[in-house]
Amino acid sequence: MEEYGWAKLHLTLDAATVSICLSEVFDPFPEMVAWGREIDEGDLPIQMEIDEEGHIAVLTVLRTENPSRVLLRVTSSDENKILLEGVVDRATLRVGRESSEILEKIA
């Protein structure tokens, strides 16, 4: 944590990295757990918004032709700009039982 009440989520694809500020005020962890479970179950497309206290980061996961791979797109809703986009293994984004239990304790 950088400051009290904040954490950072760093997402990296190839050489590009985007950092999203996670705020205690707009707690994203419960929704992140649900989002990861939906990805794990293959319930796509799915999208979630993370409120960075003034800026909104939108994480979207879309199907590809290969069921084990998905398209991850991170956009800034206020700028309507793609910050990060690429195809990744679906398992990379899923929230398994152990991860889910940890995130639920944080939330």
Residue 30 falls inside a structural domain: yes
Residue 1 falls inside a structural domain: no
DSSP state, residue 52: -
Q: Is the pLDDT of residue 71 over 70?
A: yes
Residue pLDDT, tens place only, 72-84: 999 998 878 999 9
Residues constituting the chain: 107
Listed in sequence order, the residues at least 6 apart from 1 whose beta carbon sits closer than 8 Å to its beta carbon are 7
**pLDDT bucket at 45, cuts 50 / 70 / 90:** very high
Residue 95 falls inside a structural domain: yes
Q: Is the pLDDT of residue 16 over 80?
A: yes
How many independent structural domains does the chain possess?
A: 1
Residue 57's domain spans which residues? Answer: 6-106
Q: What is the pLDDT of residue 1?
A: 42
- Is the C-alpha dihedral spanning 50, 99, 45, 81 positive or negative? positive
Q: Is the pLDDT of residue 87 over 90?
A: yes
Q: Which long-range contacts (CB under 8 A, 24 or more apart) does 92-97 make?
A: 93/36, 93/39, 93/61, 94/36, 94/37, 94/39, 94/40, 95/32, 95/33, 95/35, 95/36, 95/37, 95/39, 95/40, 96/40
Q: What is the pLDDT of residue 3?
A: 58
